[in-house]
Amino acid sequence: MDDTTKVHVTTPQATETATPETAERPARRTFLKAAGLGALTATVGVPFARYLPEGMQPIGMAHAQGEVEGYGFKDGLTLLNDRPVNAETPAHLLDDRVTPANRLFIRNNGGVPFHALDGDATGWTLTVDGEVDTPLELTLDALASDFEVVTRQLTLECGGNGRAFFVPGASGNQWTTGAVGCPEWTGVRLRDVLNAAGVKDSAVYTGHYGNDPHLSGDPEKVAISRGVPIAKALEEDTLIAWAMNGEPLPAIHGFPLRLVVPGYPGSASQKWLTRIWVRDQVHDGPKMGGYSYRLPAYPVAPGTEVPEADMVVMETMPVKSLITSPATRTQHDGLSLDVRGHAWADGEVAAVHVSHDFGQTWQEAALEAPVNRYAWQHFTATVDLPQPGYYEIWSRATDTDGRVQPVTTPGWNPRGYGNNMVHRIAVLAG
């Protein structure tokens, strides 16, 4: 077993003996120690404090979590769980236009197969069966030789990204903003493979299976098996991928084969893919029922106990944005601040706006077009601050259908899915 299994975690409780070197490090964890908004205002000044929505704490007060210094090649991720491994990426480490493999978040439901850790794809096959005219069993070589190979930059995001900000809290990994990334993926269109098998008129849904071991160790149990409506499976940008950024998939990201289903929760993008079962009904595999990746069929008050029968499958992800520079909790000498980041949607983003006064005024950012559908879009803005003090820079994206990120958490649900509230960073200016 190689070094991709070695994890070093620095927990929030860990202590470090001060040295001349450590004493001079930027004090990111101790950016602000004020006990609340009032103390913060008295300490450094918050020019627009009166506009901060009631009940919302300054983002600069947030506590740092344990940081992963390495899950193998990973760099700077924050560990949320180690069994299974789940880790997110701090926003400022997602500044690259194309997310490098060492900065892509990790979301697992089971273990990592040993063959993936060994980099051994010997004998690997993909089965396509169910509601098809001709069931297929394809090798990796057959996939690469029998179908058109394509490369697309596609955003991948966990359905629970932003869960940590719901009030009352929701169970599950407490993702903040870093369960997202946008690498380049190389493979073949799922559509082409399904068409080669001949999708029957009775086809309704796909069911996806991988060979990641269940955490119980029971070989008869499946860690996760989700699927998508057949129309989504037949979209041009839904891929069966074997490479990320021009390299074979890393073990932790599904070597040797995975699905990439952009615009849907990342759980639909099955890793270590071995089978696609075309169904004549909505797929009912593990993590498809109950409250897993499901939302109430109607709006509910926060904290409501929603019957399982009233939950529906989560499909498209909402419009969202992320400020990647400057890093949150930084100090800035001047009063003119350059801001940049990314925005994405199930479709295309029409505009991004930023605010420095808790949403009282907004200025439009410069927004680039996506390199292809489902790639995130880059934005930049220069924000002029009126006086020294504590500021929060907020970003708000609007998609081409007019849907806008809300200022506070939207649509509370029992498992905390789909939070697309504005992104907030903290800055001490002047």
* pTM for this model (two decimals): 0.85
Give the span between the Cα atoms of 215 and 218, in whole angstroms: 8
CATH code matching the domain that covers 320-429, chosen among 3.30.465.10, 3.40.225.10, 3.40.50.720, 2.60.40.650: 2.60.40.650
Residue 15 — pLDDT band, cuts 50, 70, 90?
very low
Short-list 230, 257, 210, CA closest to 132: 230
Give the span between the Cα atoms of 354 and 407, in whole angstroms: 12
Q: How far is CA 164 from the centre of its chain?
A: 13
pLDDT > 90? residue 154: yes
Contact 416, 170 (CB under 8 A): yes
Give the span between the Cα atoms of 229 and 268, in whole angstroms: 11
pLDDT > 90? residue 295: yes
Burial label, 366 (beta-carbon count in 10 A; 0-12, 13-18, 19+): exposed
Residue 420 — pLDDT band, cuts 50, 70, 90?
very high
Long-range CB contacts (within 8 A, 24+) of 169-175:
169/416, 170/412, 170/413, 170/414, 170/415, 170/416, 171/414, 171/415, 171/416, 172/415, 172/416, 173/80, 173/81, 173/86, 173/107, 174/80, 175/80, 175/88
Give the span between the Cα atoms of 60 and 228, in whole angstroms: 39
**Element (DSSP H or E) covering residue 340:** strand 336-344
Give the span between the Cα atoms of 79 and 32, in whole angstroms: 22
Task: Please state the domain extents for the chain.
Answer: 108-313, 320-429
The DSSP letter of residue 333 is S
CB atoms within 10 A of CB 6: 11
259: β partners: 240
Q: Can you tell me the mean pLDDT for 255-267?
A: 98
Copy the structure tokens of residue 57.
């704490």
What's the pLDDT score for residue 2? 38
What's the pLDDT score for residue 28? 36
154-180 burial, b at 16+ Cβ within 10 Å, e below that, comes to bbbbbbbbbbbbbeeebebbbbbbbbb
- Residue ranges with strand state E in 360-400: 363-364, 366-367, 377-384, 389-399
pLDDT > 80? residue 108: yes
CB atoms within 10 A of CB 210: 23
CB atoms within 10 A of CB 243: 17
Short-list 113, 262, 68, CA closest to 181: 262
Average pLDDT across the chain, whole number: 89
Number of H helices, E strands in the chain: 6, 27
Q: How far is CA 349 from the centre of its chain?
A: 17
CA pseudo-torsion sign 22, 26, 28, 31: positive
Are 108-313 and 320-429 the same fold in CATH?
A: no
Q: Which CATH architecture has domain 108-313?
A: Alpha-Beta Complex (3.90)
Give the span between the Cα atoms of 223 and 206, in whole angstroms: 17
Residue 17 — pLDDT band, cuts 50, 70, 90?
very low
Q: Where are the alpha helices (DSSP H) in 37-91?
A: 37-44
Residue 40 — pLDDT band, cuts 50, 70, 90?
low
% pLDDT > 70, the chain: 86
Contact 183, 245 (CB under 8 A): yes
What's the pLDDT score for residue 49? 80
Q: Can you tell me the mean pLDDT for 400-426?
A: 97
Give the total residue count for the chain. Answer: 430
Short-list 67, 71, 68, CA closest to 2: 71
